[in-house]
Chains A and B, each alone.
Chain A
Amino acid sequence: MPTPPFRINVVPDWQGLLKCLRREGTPARVHFIELFLDPEVQEEICKRYDLLTGMDAGDPFFLHRRQIILQNFLGYDYVMYPESIGESVDSRLTLPERITADSAGLVRKGGRAYREEHKGPITSWKEFEAYPWPDPQADGTRSLDWFQDNLPENMCLIGGLVGSIYENLSFLMGYETLCYALKDQRDLVAAISQRLIEMYCKEVERLLQFDRVKMIWASDDMGFRSSLSISPKDLREFILPGHKRLAQMVHDAGRLYLLHSCGELSKIMEDLIRDVKIDAKHSFEDTILDVCEAKKLWGDRLSLLGGLDINFLCLATAEQVRTRVNDTLDRCFPGGGYCLGTGNSVANYIPLDNYLAMLDAGRNYL
């Protein structure tokens, strides 16, 4: 029997997670949250701890069952759908990539893919009309129906990841092309953005039909280390209205709207909090803004997710990780409104034992 990585058992508690995200007081325990775990990380954990013994890989719902087992084992209160099953509409967007060798600890077979930065598949009206836009309803509700009936009662679904409006605008045009199009072809930029917003509205509509979907998680990187990727004016014209519309749909259905967005977003944080009305923000980097500083700035109006810096997790010892978890929780846990996790995602280049140490330290916090 492999030695379990955690000293304390955690039982999923989606209601506790919701209370935490609504900032309804200090939670009974630490809740954990992640944008995603890289497939190599998921595989390694399942293998190392024999999580899939007895499971039938030919079962049409094998991936769904695997997610429940894995998330439960790791201490999460939820399963993310459709992201974790590979059924998101984004996965069906045709986008050019460049591949390089992967040097991560848990190596990605086939190499690491990067988006084409210069010229995407839509740089003209002709290409816009010809683009094979995916149907967000194509996956139907088969998986959602299955989760509705089979997800353990103490777990919920997070509908995600959706709403990559800016990201996919920049991937579809190519970031460099988009930059020039903001001067030369603003009508085309508007058309692509609007098409993406409509696509995500349909996807969110599909997810909200199911009451086990307790929150929607949008993921839309709008900046980089020192700045926004395009001006606040252009984000306010082309992108933020889309998030506002999605958030409104979600709130009207009584759920929460979480937003992951990498980058230096200080110029649009008030837009996101007051106008879009996001309920929680994810993605924090030490070189931009530590999550503990974010708590001081916005913690009374916004819940904060994750924040254990990726670079730190890559370079620290397990003991340093534990110390930092305790320090972060000392400052962010009281009063609720904080879930422990990495600053971005559980990448295949983070030492697995550091990730597990982070979770273990969170379990041992109280």
Chain B
Amino acid sequence: MGQIDTIYKAVLEGNTREVQVGVEAALKEKITADQIMQNGLIAAMKEVGRLFEAGEFFVPEMLISARAMQSALVLLKPFLAASGAKAAGRVAIGTVQGDLHDIGKNLVGMMLEGAGFEIIDLGTDVRPENFVDAVEAKHADIIALSALLTTTMPKMQETIEALKAASLRDKVKVIIGGAPVTETYAQQIGADGYGPDASAASRLAAKLMKAGHAPEAA
């Protein structure tokens, strides 16, 4: 089994040490960091997402695979930077103001990272103006909003309004998700998309970037 296959399998199985050993061995074999990233890590996380949506993987399996993937990213980052490899995009993610829940948000962040996105994690209880700042000062291509409570969902619309007020709405895509959130609600408030789970959110972000609706990551 080649090193890429070893890395892929180790991510799927959530074997952090094996992933790290695989990455180190692959780099020694002069496999580029970008190839390791694309064919090892991103491919594996895509399969993790598929397995989750198919009902074969559950949240623990996703978290464990994501942990293994993140440990590999730590090793790869200097090589990726040196090679000038570009992220798939930059996503600013946060749980909206008044809401403290973040497991779902964190899972989405991990899946996005596993899909090659650069993540700006704004945390929980994030005010609309902080999302605006993520676009203005940190050049986020996508804003990802999470809410677990019906009572905090309105902050999603407020965030979109804040982006409009700052003349930034057409410079960024907004995706939303969380337990009470629906596709209908996303359309109602003018979001660009809704992700029913972390895997779907990651595919949505990739689709939006591919469609060219958001500017290239800096």
Contact = CB atoms under 8 A, between A and B. Distances in A.
A228 B61 CA distance: 12
B188 interface: no
A179 B59 contact: yes
Contact of B60 (A98, A100, A117, A183): A183
Nearest to B56: A231
Interface in A202-244: 224-231, 234
B59 A230 contact: yes
B37 to A, nearest CB: 23
A183 B14 CA distance: 8
A228 B58 contact: yes
B120 interface: no
A267 B101 contact: no
Contacts of B58: 227-231
B100 A114 contact: yes
B61 to A, nearest CB: 7
B64 interface: yes
A311 B106 CA distance: 26
A100 B98 contact: yes
A53 to B, nearest CB: 35
A103 interface: yes
A182 B63 CA distance: 11
A117 B101 contact: yes
Contacts of A267: 55
Residues of B contacting A: mostly: loop
Interface string B13-31: 0100000000000000000
A290 B102 CA distance: 28
A100 B14 contact: no
Given A103-B151, A226-B196, A267-B55, A234 B60 contact: yes
A165 B52 CA distance: 24
B101 A176 contact: no
Contacts of B63: 176, 179-180
B67 interface: yes
A175 interface: yes
Contacts of B67: 180
B103 interface: yes
Nearest to A266: B55
B96 to A, nearest CB: 13
Nearest to A104: B151
Kindly name the residue among B60, B64, B98, B179 whose own CB sees the greatest number of chain A CB atoms within 10 A: B60
**Interface bin, chain A:** 20 to 34
A183 B64 contact: yes
A182 B60 contact: yes
Contacts of B180: 311
Contacts of B106: 176
A230 B57 CA distance: 9
A280 interface: no
A106 to B, nearest CB: 14
Interface string B152-184: 000000000000000000000000000110000
A100 B100 contact: yes
Contacts of A178: 60
Interface string B184-217: 0000000000001100000000000000000000
Interface in B36-75: 52, 55, 57-61, 63-64, 67
Contacts of B59: 179, 227, 229-230
A227 B179 contact: no
Interface string B70-96: 000000000000000000000000000
A98 B100 contact: yes
Contacts of A118: 103
A179 B60 CA distance: 4
B158 to A, nearest CB: 15
B102 A117 contact: yes
A119 B49 CA distance: 25
Interface in A69-114: 98, 100-101, 103, 114
Contacts of A230: 58-60
B179 A224 contact: yes
Contact of A180 (B64, B102, B197): B64
Contact of A226 (B60, B98, B103, B197): B197
Contacts of B64: 179-180, 182-183
A193 to B, nearest CB: 15
Interface string A173-190: 001101110110000000
A227 B179 CA distance: 12
Contacts of A183: 14, 60, 64
Interface string A231-274: 10010000000000000000000000000000000010000000
Interface of B: 14, 52, 55, 57-61, 63-64, 67, 98, 100-103, 106, 150-151, 179-180, 196-197
Given A225-B179, A227-B52, 19 more contacts: A114-B100, A117-B103, A175-B103, A176-B63, A179-B59, A179-B60, A180-B64, A182-B60, A182-B64, A224-B179, A227-B58, A227-B59, A227-B197, A230-B58, A230-B60, A231-B60, A231-B61, A234-B60, A311-B150
4 tightest Cβ-Cβ pairs between the two chains A and B: A179-B60, A179-B63, A231-B58, A182-B60
